[in-house]
Amino acid sequence: KPLAPNWAQCFCTTVDGVYSWSPRGMSASGVGRHWHVYATRSLYVITESRTSQGETVSFIGISRESGVAQEGTDTYDGLQQKLKQLNGAAGRPKPQACAAILGCVTTHQQSFLLVVTEASVVADLDGQRVFEISHCEALPFVLDVDSRVDLMSTAADATAAVASVVQLVSKGFFFSRDFDITRRLQQRLLLAACPPEELMSRADDRYAWNKQLVEPLLVQTGVRPRWFSPIVQGFVQLRDFSSSSAPSARGHDAPLALLLIARRSCRRAGTRYNARGLDDEGETGNWVETEQLVKIRRCSATSSTQPGWISLVQVRGSAPVFWEQSSGMQGVSVTRGAQLGSVALEKHHRWLQAEYGDVLYASLLSHGAAKRDTEGVLSNALTGQLKMINGIKWKHLDFSSIVSGDENSFNQELDSLANQVSKDLTSFGFLDAAQETFGVEQRPLRNQQMGVIRTNCFDCLDRTNLLQQQLAWRWLSTCLTASGGELAKLLSDYSAAPARKSGSGPAGGGGFADLLGAFGDLMLTDPSTSEGTCPALQSVLRAMWADLGDTLSLQYTGAASTWGAALRKGGQSTMAMMEKGWNSVNRAYCARFEDGSRQAVLDLMLGKHKLPRAPAAAEARRAPCGQLTVAVVTWNVHCHRFWEAPGMLENLIRGTCGPVEKLVRSPDVVIFSFQEMLELSAANVVTQASGDAGLQAAFEAAAVKALEAVLGEPFAKVQGLGMVGLYIGAFVALRLSGHISKVAAGRRQAGLYGQAGNKGAVAVRFEVCKTAICALSVHLESGTGQAKASERAGQLREVLLGAPLFGGADGRDVVSVAKHDLVVVAGDFNFRLGLPQNAEIGEFRNSLKGSWPAVVAGGGVNCMGEGMTGAAAGSSVLGPFSAFDELCGDRVSSEAAEVLREASLMEGPVLFPATYRFLEGTMSYDSERIPAWCDRVLHSKVGVIRRRYGALGGPGGLMCADHRAVGALLETSLLAVPGTAPPPTKGSSAAAPAALAAVATRGTAPAAPQRSLQKPAAEASSLVDLREGEMGVRLDDLLGESPAPVGTSSARQGGGYPAAAPQLPVVNASVAAQQAAPSLLEDPLDFSGGTSSAAMSPAAASSSPAAAVASSSGGRGLPGLPLPPEGVKVGQFVLAEHAGGWFYANVTRAGNGMCDIAWRRPAGANWARDQHSERYFCSTGEDETCHGDKLPVATRIRLPDRSGGSGRSGVGSSDVGPAAPPAAAAAGAGLQDLLGTEAPSGATLAGGDVDLLG
């Protein structure tokens, strides 16, 4: 249906940028109380419809320019006169009758006000009505004149996007202005009465689909929720039922009224293949709460049942396991191990218990051989996960083996299925309200429902609907039998009068029957099968549940239920089978061609929305809460199952992490990167595109045991992924299992020009608290020569900078490699030495023969490199590397190095001998190949401290392959949202935590810190050099709890550039930083509001290098002080030049007159203060990950001094801050003229807004 007529005129045809809207003139008959919306040149004004001359009118005005909203009152005549004045020459605007105001949608930089213009009554419950939305309109906000030209190109996209939202909301969404439709009857009766004016604010966030749409307006001061109505997606249908003895008893004279309400959750909302299983918050896909209500209007005097409402609640949701399936032709993939998955399942279970009481999990998955790779995998994973949580009751009902669908035995088969959970159904009870009116408490409840049956099949649609219908019928028949008299006779009436129906759902069979028209209707109403087989009341109930099943299936899959016709007919008749086949094909079509766009519409509607310049809710930002240690090891194992050899896997872990007794911090995360786990044969490339699952599982089981044995605490697998011979596996300490979220994995094929997986990359990503980690295992093209080097560089570019590795094909949840706090790329890069032709390498080979120490060091493994106990390799070994290595050699043109700069990745100093190629089982190099440093570990440039980086090998057992393993030990900041408890450290009493008790209050964000940050939170959280002991001083203020102490440790290892004579010292970066800046008071990552320069005493401020960047020559020369003769050291605090400005930085690498630096950041309290932030590189607005490589020390590096000055220029220029926002223009008519009041605090007004607020 079209949007408001000609709304695109605001882009094209109007000179002043104002859109002229012509109301539809909707008839509000049957809608009752509603709103009138007036559109003026600068405002949308909403008033109550029931007003007349002389009455006082309440209204809310919303600026079409800024989105600022405010309420007011006036007389009817006074308001009409003001509206006429505000609309100028166009005269008094005509009102648009609206049934409900849903909120604001923002897309493609354009905002819209969403209003319901047509709605129909689907249920009248004792005078309290439920409406189904049948048409909406999206009323556009006016664009800024300066922005109009830029946004014209996006007008079509905005139109299409908002039209899709309008189409979505115009079917299957319900609201009521009389009672809270988001809550079941028992909840409403137990809670305090909710006035109609508070329905929006008190609605259940789980089922109110427009909470996020009204937030941009409700967050503004003075705007009350009375103007908005919560909407629910799902199903509502009401049917009156009369016996055959009194066919004229209709409507309120009928003895029974059957009401069926289904509420779909807006959390983890999505389409069939995009929203399945469990998420980190304990939410499941396709979650539906179904409430079967029965109104007993008449009963005999001897009946035990009183007139009033009774109800039974059941729930359904996707199998509570982390799983996914790309299409119906693919198998099921379980994406999270049982240990980590049980954490989210426990959250889900705790919420169910808090919400409903006792819970029975009923699984209808099949164990048949035909479904071994789909439902069998899922059922086994679910069973293993349920067993890990004490106290969970669950039953497996193999629906496919019990219910055949045969017409002659359909009722008996459903009864047999329901019998298996009937005892639980009885023990949970039901609601007996025993009152005449709906939802208004008059007397104590006779009975309450104390538990719920949670049902799932594969998609929670067809089989689940059949079981829930049968349970509802069993419950109803039991209640009516116990009542006796007239009600009990209804159960034996096989020819009752037709039930009067009102509500949603297809009138007949739908689907294939609609295609056949009258012939289909004739087949569906065959009297030989539709009458006499079951009581008339049961037939009515089945028809209601069949309509429910079709509606839920349409909302989830785009097609009707495959069992709907069978439920209506009482079995799989010929017509029902044809209907099932038709709907199956329809589902497949929707999944292939429509689900992507439908998912995008859902994501848009349920996303965050902001109005142009209106006040917005504060957002909580991440901040450091401790340190995170990550161990990474890569090895081309050349098809060897090394983990089966005693002690070899343990030695690999010891060599990577170092001697356990000397570890300052035990690794929190361990990442294994392997290449050639399988032979790279043509057969394996074709048949093992996803790797050998059995082989990977065997290693993962061995790794969990070895990690606990070596590191002294249990570990759990986060995710593992293979591709032919490639493998990446991430493991996390079990104490952090409750803080892992957003796990994903991806593959990128690079062999045969991107068509084969023998070369390429596999990657996993996850978050620890709020620290996003991405780890990749790569295997690039082999071979020597410039052509091969260029091919490797192209493959690396495609992996790191190409299409995102994570996210669905529809573009949902796309995360690029660069959008992580810590990126680790490890593997066999196959980088070789770019030696000149005819180069003599005999001396180089001779030097390599004795390059590995003969004495075992580093815990049983020969470890050589930065931070390791083994000595560094000699200059005769590292000289050719530093000159000719394809990645970082000084004498070769490296395309790969350019890729790393663009991806903001770096490598530590390579102080170990060549890792390729060895004779297997020996320490001797293969004489037929030129030795090379093929195996490397790269990591993020910003925010990482490197403690170890080197190669492992020798008598420790790691000699079985022709490569040597390479490991690294890294540290980064652990980020969290302020107000949340930090995760436990090793040795703390908190082990793997149980589900958070606060899961029921999900969605309530903690208060954000009261400061304005100029940079996004992801950037504001990275660190350059987090000095030991500083963080513990301030984190208790930040997070409300004392952080884990940061131990003081051995040297924090740094490194310089490899040189011909590798005599660069391994410097303690922490000590170097303190020596360079002994009085530095501000940590660059202090988000706790630590001491700022403005609050310092003058003496302290003048003595702090972080308080000023100054010129030593009165502003006429270079800033700061010259460097000492010995140059710079790793970790040193310096001034670095860029584009004429000098900014704070730390040295990360140094050597041969060059250095790499990482730009520093201001303390959190000073982030948005111009006089402080301008001294930092982030104030320039340029990419902080660039412009810090290979700076000449003599000309671009200085030392800070202790005098004042500006860092923006080297000549003492005055402070230059960002331009202040333009003042609001006091022109035009708007909110001030309408209200005669002042603007809300914090609002940014434009144009007519100033006049509106007065």
pLDDT score of 497 more than 80: no
Confidence grade of residue 781 (pLDDT, cut at 50, 70, 90): very high
What pLDDT is attached to residue 145? 44
Backbone angles phi, psi at 765, to 5 degrees: -140, 150
Sheet with strand 862-866: strands edge to edge: 715-723, 726-733, 669-675, 623-636, 965-976, 944-953, 862-866
pLDDT score of 456 more than 90: yes
The percent of residues in the chain predicted with pLDDT above 70, rounded, is 74
- Amino acid identity, position 853: P
What pLDDT is attached to residue 1146? 85
Q: 406 CB contacts (<8 Å, ≥6 apart)? A: 413, 571, 572
What pLDDT is attached to residue 157? 84
Cβ-based neighbour number of residue 660 at 10 Å: 13
Which pLDDT tens digit goes with each residue over 1166-1221? 544 455 567 788 777 777 766 788 899 999 999 987 654 444 433 333 333 333 33
Q: Which of 68-77, 123-132, 1114-1123, 1218-1227 has the lowest mean pLDDT?
A: 1218-1227
Residue 437 contacts residue 124 (beta carbons within 8 Å): no
Residue 40 contacts residue 16 (beta carbons within 8 Å): no
Q: Which of 293-302, 896-905, 1009-1018, 1173-1182 has the lowest mean pLDDT?
A: 1009-1018
Task: Report the C-alpha gap between 40 and 42 in whole angstroms.
Answer: 5
State the residue for tokens 């903690």: 1006
What pLDDT is attached to residue 823? 97
What pLDDT is attached to residue 719? 94
Which pLDDT tens digit goes with each residue over 798-816? 999 998 888 754 445 678 8
Greater confidence (558 vs 245) lies with 558
Q: Which of 145-159, 410-424, 1056-1070 has the lowest mean pLDDT?
A: 1056-1070
Task: Report the C-alpha gap between 449 and 419 in whole angstroms.
Answer: 19
Greater confidence (1164 vs 455) lies with 455
Confidence grade of residue 613 (pLDDT, cut at 50, 70, 90): confident
What pLDDT is attached to residue 669? 97
Task: Report the C-alpha gap between 656 and 666 in whole angstroms.
Answer: 12
Confidence grade of residue 300 (pLDDT, cut at 50, 70, 90): low
Confidence grade of residue 443 (pLDDT, cut at 50, 70, 90): low
pLDDT score of 433 more than 70: yes
Which pLDDT tens digit goes with each residue over 819-874? 899 999 999 999 999 988 888 888 899 989 888 876 554 446 778 899 887 778 88
Confidence grade of residue 1064 (pLDDT, cut at 50, 70, 90): very low
Mean model confidence pLDDT for the chain = 78
pLDDT score of 1063 more than 90: no
**How does DSSP classify residue 199?**
H
Q: Which of 189-193, 259-263, 345-349, 746-750 has the lowest mean pLDDT?
A: 189-193
Residue 287 contacts residue 552 (beta carbons within 8 Å): no
Task: Report the C-alpha gap between 568 and 542 in whole angstroms.
Answer: 6
pLDDT score of 767 more than 90: yes
pLDDT score of 1225 more than 50: no
Q: Is the dihedral of CA 953, 956, 961, 966 positive or negative?
A: negative
Helices (H), 505-535: 512-516, 518-524, 527-530
- What is the chain's alpha carbon radius of gyration, rounded to the nearest angstrom? 35
Confidence grade of residue 984 (pLDDT, cut at 50, 70, 90): confident
Backbone angles phi, psi at 579, to 5 degrees: -65, -40
Task: Report the C-alpha gap between 537 and 494 in whole angstroms.
Answer: 8
What pLDDT is attached to residue 249? 52
**How does DSSP classify residue 886?**
T
Which pLDDT tens digit goes with each residue over 86-98? 888 888 898 989 9
Q: Is the dihedral of CA 1162, 1166, 1168, 1171 positive or negative?
A: negative
What pLDDT is attached to residue 851? 85
What pLDDT is attached to residue 252? 66
The residue-averaged pLDDT of 587-609 equals: 92
What pLDDT is attached to residue 515? 55
- List of E strands, 438-554: 451-456, 500-503
Task: Report the C-alpha gap between 972 and 1049 in whole angstroms.
Answer: 16
Task: Report the C-alpha gap between 359 and 1135 in whole angstroms.
Answer: 63
pLDDT score of 700 more than 90: yes
Confidence grade of residue 451 (pLDDT, cut at 50, 70, 90): very high
In this structure, the strands spanning 173-175 and 232-241 are antiparallel
The residue-averaged pLDDT of 243-268 equals: 79
What pLDDT is attached to residue 228? 96
Q: Which of 250-259, 546-555, 856-865, 1033-1042 has the lowest mean pLDDT?
A: 1033-1042
SS3 state of residue 900: helix
The residue-averaged pLDDT of 418-428 equals: 96
Closest CA to 873 of 886, 883, 863: 863
What pLDDT is attached to residue 47? 93
SS3 state of residue 315: strand
Greater confidence (206 vs 1087) lies with 206
Closest CA to 549 of 532, 529, 563: 563
What pLDDT is attached to residue 1079? 27
* Diameter over CA atoms, the chain: 111
| Predicted TM-score of the model (pTM) | 0.79
What pLDDT is attached to residue 1214? 31
Task: Report the C-alpha gap between 78 and 76 in whole angstroms.
Answer: 6
Query: Containing H/E element for 1054?
Result: none
Which pLDDT tens digit goes with each residue over 1146-1156? 888 888 888 88
